[in-house]
Chains A and B, each alone.
Chain A
């Protein structure tokens, strides 16, 4: 089932995000085997060269490693995975902060808004589990 990609942005970057997300959320665990170029291209319905480029970039970033004759695997270093998580969180945070600043919200207010939202969120979850 092909995912919707944004055709306005380079697809290889989007696939990189897709794979990183799978690693960070645990869908792809440390040391797991990654599908081959062909398999992934067929699954996502995209050009195999694009997938190839994605894998090359991921290897360069050491998110993924190639074991000769065996295929491509997610890095087995937990530390690396934590780094990716932090990176992705950092990107989200940057976007959030920029968005909030554009709305004209002051820095102190941002912190209290976030704290309140988190409290409400866990309360909501708490209510759900009590039901």
Chain B
């Protein structure tokens, strides 16, 4: 099967800052990929480009061979660093919103996941704590049968119990036809679920390697590698 994501020589500039510099990347189906980098390295920018929220200054991006646009929005499920719910909504309204706009939304699965995450349907979204909100956003993103999932810092700022539940949900959810890209700077907790990792530094891809290869060849954990790469 051909690649789910192809990023080809993408450049992105914000004012005077080069957020992404000639970035190229291929992701095969059925992979769980870690997108690692310090804050401001370009991880979020890359995800937003793939999700269609930003547009590259040059270069191209394709999801399952299609350029980013209306069609790819149905194929990509993005969980950004801010909530995708509106202030007036209750949890059940958020579910309804996804069901109404995304044909691939699995309501059954969403309800299961809500229960698993201990979220009540008639709870007001504005009353949820940060951790509960993250669980909701993750539920919404993972309840779609998408081809590519982009999770921007899903475990940052979340208590360890919620973290465990989130990792559990990600692993249970895995599908050979689709891929997940998870960006994080908390490598230690999550490296055991990655197939491969992409290190981004100052807008460039520094390394793209299979995780077990890093362990075999370098005898280091991804966390240690990360600390080495990003040491000041």
Within 8 A of B (CB), among A40-88: 41-42, 45-50, 53
Q: Which B residues are CB-close (under 8 A) to A38? A: 172, 174
Interface size of B by CB at 8 A reads 25
Q: Which B residues are CB-close (under 8 A) to A2? A: 164, 192
* Complexed CA–CA distance, A38 and B219 (Å): 27
Interface: B3 (CB within 8 A): no
Q: Tell me the dominant secondary structure on chain B's binding face.
A: helix
Could you tell me the distance in whole angstroms from the C-beta of B152 to the nearest C-beta in chain A?
20
Could you tell me the distance in whole angstroms from the C-beta of A39 to the nearest C-beta in chain B?
10
Q: Which B residues are CB-close (under 8 A) to A41? A: 171, 174
Q: Which B residues are CB-close (under 8 A) to A48? A: 171, 174
Interface: B224 (CB within 8 A): yes
Q: Which B residues are CB-close (under 8 A) to A42? A: 168, 171-172
Q: Which B residues are CB-close (under 8 A) to A8? A: 215, 219-221, 224
Query: Are the C-beta atoms of B192 and A5 separated by less than 8 Å?
Result: yes
Could you tell me the distance in whole angstroms from the C-beta of A6 to the nearest C-beta in chain B?
8
The answer, among A7, A45, A47, A53, for a CB contact under 8 Å with B223, is A7
Query: Are the C-beta atoms of A7 and B171 separated by less than 8 Å?
Result: no
Within 8 A of A (CB), among B205-223: 211-212, 215-216, 219-223
Most buried by B among A10, A38, A42, A47: A47
* Complexed CA–CA distance, A11 and B164 (Å): 18
Interface: B131 (CB within 8 A): no
Interface size of A by CB at 8 A reads 19
Q: Which A residues are CB-close (under 8 A) to B223? A: 7
With contacts A41-B174, A42-B171, A48-B171 taken as known, whether A10 is within 8 angstroms of B193 at the C-beta atoms is no
Query: Are the C-beta atoms of B215 and A46 separated by less than 8 Å?
Result: no
Interface: B198 (CB within 8 A): no
Query: Are the C-beta atoms of A46 and B220 separated by less than 8 Å?
Result: no
Interface: A103 (CB within 8 A): no
Interface: B167 (CB within 8 A): yes
Could you tell me the distance in whole angstroms from the C-beta of B163 to the nearest C-beta in chain A?
11
Q: Kindly report which residue of chain B lies nearest to residue A53, judged by CB atoms.
A: B212
Interface: A9 (CB within 8 A): yes
The answer, among B31, B188, B212, for a CB contact under 8 Å with A11, is B212
Known: A2-B164, A7-B223, A38-B172; 17 extra A-B contacts, CB below 8 A, are A2-B192, A5-B192, A7-B188, A7-B221, A7-B224, A8-B215, A8-B219, A8-B221, A8-B224, A9-B219, A10-B216, A11-B215, A12-B212, A46-B193, A47-B194, A48-B174, A49-B31
Using CB atoms and an 8 Å cutoff, list the residues of chain A in contact with chain B: 2, 5-12, 38, 41-42, 45-50, 53
Using CB atoms and an 8 Å cutoff, list the residues of chain B in contact with chain A: 30-32, 164, 167-168, 171-172, 174, 188, 191-195, 211-212, 215-216, 219-224
Contact sample, A vs B, 27 pairs, CB 8 Å cutoff: A2-B164, A7-B192, A7-B215, A8-B215, A8-B219, A8-B220, A8-B224, A9-B215, A10-B215, A11-B192, A38-B172, A38-B174, A41-B174, A42-B168, A42-B171, A42-B172, A45-B164, A45-B168, A45-B171, A45-B193, A46-B171, A47-B174, A47-B211, A49-B32, A49-B195, A50-B195, A50-B212
8 tightest A-B CB contacts, nearest first: A7-B221, A10-B215, A10-B212, A8-B221, A46-B192, A47-B193, A42-B172, A48-B174
